Chain A
């Protein structure tokens, strides 16, 4: 099956710094990728839809200037959390569609101290 990777798998950063998370489709091309966030004991909430070569579409309530998404190629999307704060600590998961099914990355655990 299709494989999606994320890097890093976990990261700890200080409040006020920025963190970049990469999402790659390893064996297929994805014109659309999705970014989700999951707080402890909660479900996955869609943050934004990342489109190759164009601006991302953000869900209501998600600050586009804080969560910068770049989909530079058909196999890579990046999420940058700018000026991170402790409340941004969460599990971030990306996914990509192929053949009508979505494949998820392993997730990135972000802890902001």
Chain B
């Protein structure tokens, strides 16, 4: 059974810092991996999608890497801002297109000004 773990559970940093969020999964047979952002009481915003054949994806100040063989992904946030404060969720899709995502519990990030 696929399990997704995110470390740390919570993180507080001052504005401007670069930071790394970690995600690990137990079954390396994944179709793809997605990082999401969730603001309190809100739905999900997709940040980055990495296909199983890819090593990384970048969007603005965000960079996500994937090491499928070791079952790990990292989300790198450069020059953090207070507006980045949210919960970041990592999710993997099983090795078939159209199957559901399995989520980690998330990392709650707080960026102070």
Interface residues on A, range: 20 to 34
Can you name the residue of chain A whose Cβ is closest to the Cβ of B32?
Answer: A100
CA distance A45 to B100 in the complex (A): 10
Asked if A34 contacts B43 (CB within 8 A), the reply is no
Spot the interface stretch: B12-20, B74-82, B102-110. Answer: B102-110
Contact of B100 among A49, A105, A109 (CB under 8 A): A49
- The answer to whether the Cβ of B60 comes within 8 Å of any Cβ in the partner chain is no
Q: Pick the most buried of B98, B102, B103: most chain A CB atoms within 10 A of its CB.
A: B98
Q: In the complex, which residues 17-37 of chain B have their Cβ closer than 8 Å to any Cβ of chain A?
A: 31-32, 34, 36
- Min CB distance B75 to A, Å, is 16
Given that A107-B42, A107-B43 are known contacts, is A97 also in contact with B104, CB under 8 Å in the complex?
no
Whether A101 lies near B100 (C-beta < 8 A) is no
Measured CA separation A98–B34 after assembly (Å): 14
3 closest Cβ pairs, A-B complex: A106-B43, A43-B105, A104-B44
Interchain residue pairs with CB less than 8 A apart (18): A32-B98, A34-B100, A42-B105, A43-B89, A44-B91, A49-B100, A93-B43, A95-B100, A101-B46, A101-B49, A102-B101, A103-B46, A104-B36, A104-B44, A105-B43, A106-B42, A107-B42, A109-B41
Which residues of B approach A to under 8 Å, CB–CB?
31-32, 34, 36, 41-44, 46, 49, 51, 89, 91, 93, 97-106
